Structure 1
Amino acid sequence: MIPTPDLSHLSKGDYEYVYEPAEDTFVLLDALEEEADSIRSLVPRICLEIGSGTGIVSSFLGHIIGVSNALFLCTDINPHAATCSARTGSQNKAPLEPLIASLVSPLASRLAHAVDILVFNPPYRAGIAGSWAGGADGMQVVAALLEQVDGLLSPRGRFYLVAVKQNNIPKLREFMLKPFCYRGRTKIVLQRRAGREYLFVLRFVRRVVNV
């Protein structure tokens, strides 16, 4: 098992401003661990997490891939999240590069067709000061990012997205393929009930490959 990144450096005060890892976070970690061998086989060079929060997911990716083997970028519109992500990277010896940004706005042109691993756990829940408001079922933010995914992913790139049942998973998978004129493949990597919610981690690959 890949150890869960250490968050002991964060306090209750930090969680007043940054989303505290919960079931949606851990289902994503479990999905990435399940995909660990195939992720490593890609030999990723650039990883990008949107909405990094505490930095736990990017730190986990760092330990899957090898912290010296790739560039680990993470964006969040919340300045507190950028600070927490940097601290979490340091705590876990993962060289994260956090940026304060909405989605990928300052990076899109510089990362054109260069991102090998893209990860997004959208803000389906409201209530954390400074975090995104997700819109109806969080889909406004997801839709905005999906418009940019085609321009971001490398030819071998893959995109991991956390979703909830209310998002209508079949339609969401179809929506993920539209920017690519349906040349690609989606898969439910992991699904799990968490209280009243049913969580999914979806994976998209640009082209059909044997994974």
Structure 2
Amino acid sequence: MIPTPDLSHLTKEDYKRVYEPAEDTFLLLDALEADADAIRALAPRVCLEIGSGTGIVSSFLGQIVGASDALFLCTDINPLSTACTARTGSQNKIPIEPLVASLARPLTSRLRHAVDVLVFNPPYVPTYEVEVDAAQRNGGISGSWAGGTDGMQVTDAFLRQVDGLLSPLGRFYLVAVKQNNVPKIKNLMSEVFALQSEIVLQRRAGSEHLFVLRFAR
């Protein structure tokens, strides 16, 4: 079993401003662990996480891949999240490079077809469109959950970037809830971008039915 990254350096004050790991986070960790052998077989050179929050996911991925074997990049719209991500990387001896950015926009040219492992636990909660616009603009903690119509507004924007980022053998892991219409996501990525998908894990957590999807060429 791969140990959960140490977050003992984070405080209650941090969690007032940065998304605290919850059921969706741990489902994603479990999915990555389930695929650990296949991920290692890729010998990843570049790993990219969108919306890194505390940095727990990238630190976990670093434990799978090996801290010295890949470049670990992260983005988040919340500067407090990128600060926490950097601290979590240091705490767990994973050299993470966080960047304050929306999705992967500053990296799309530099990382074109170069990302071997791409991870996104998006803001997937259905909200009014005005809420997600404000959350993305303000760069605060609400940006970690406010997803707009069907919870898909931010996810839809990123799905258009995935094909350009993934390396020929790259894998993309996406967290979704049932309200996001998982079959529609799978069909879109297959028909428009020729990316095939599988549900790696799914789990009920209270009122939510969570999924982790894996996409590859």
Contact 1:190 1:202 in 2 (8 A): yes
What is the alpha-carbon distance in structure 2 between the residues aligned to residue 50 and residue 123 of structure 1? 11
Q: Which structure's residues are more often helix, by fraction?
A: 2
**Offset of 1:6 from its aligned partner?**
0.4
The runs of 5 or more residues in structure 2 that have no matched partner are 128-134
Deviations 1:74-123 (A, max 9, x none): 00000000000000000000000000000011111000010000000011
What is the alpha-carbon distance in structure 2 between the residues aligned to residue 194 and residue 142 of structure 1? 21
Q: CA RMSD in A?
A: 1.4
Matches within 5 A, 1:178-193: 178-180=191-193, 183-193=194-204
For these two proteins, the number of residue pairs brought into alignment is: 204
What is the alpha-carbon distance in structure 2 between the residues aligned to residue 131 and residue 159 of structure 1? 24
The runs of 5 or more residues in structure 1 that have no matched partner are 207-211
Task: Report the residue type matching 2:94 in the other structure.
Answer: A
State the percentage of identical aligned residues.
72
Task: Report the residue type matching 1:138 in the other structure.
Answer: G
1:138 corresponds to which of 130, 146, 151 = 151
Distance 1:89 1:16, change over 3 A: same
What is the alpha-carbon distance in structure 2 between the residues aligned to residue 82 and residue 159 of structure 1? 21
What is the alpha-carbon distance in structure 1 between the residues aligned to residue 89 and residue 58 of structure 2? 8
- Is 1:177 matched with 2:190? yes
**Offset of 1:16 from its aligned partner?**
0.8
Contact 1:122 1:138 in 2 (8 A): no
1:196 corresponds to: 207
What is the alpha-carbon distance in structure 2 between the residues aligned to residue 175 and residue 141 of structure 1? 15
**Offset of 1:131 from its aligned partner?**
4.2
Contact 1:16 1:129 in 2 (8 A): no
Task: Report the residue type matching 2:192 in the other structure.
Answer: P
Higher mean C-alpha deviation, range 168-177 or range 157-166: 168-177
What is the alpha-carbon distance in structure 1 between the residues aligned to residue 92 and residue 113 of structure 2? 29
Contact 1:147 1:179 in 2 (8 A): no
What is the alpha-carbon distance in structure 2 between the residues aligned to residue 130 and residue 3 of structure 1? 26
2:37 corresponds to: 37
TM-score under structure 1 normalisation? 0.93
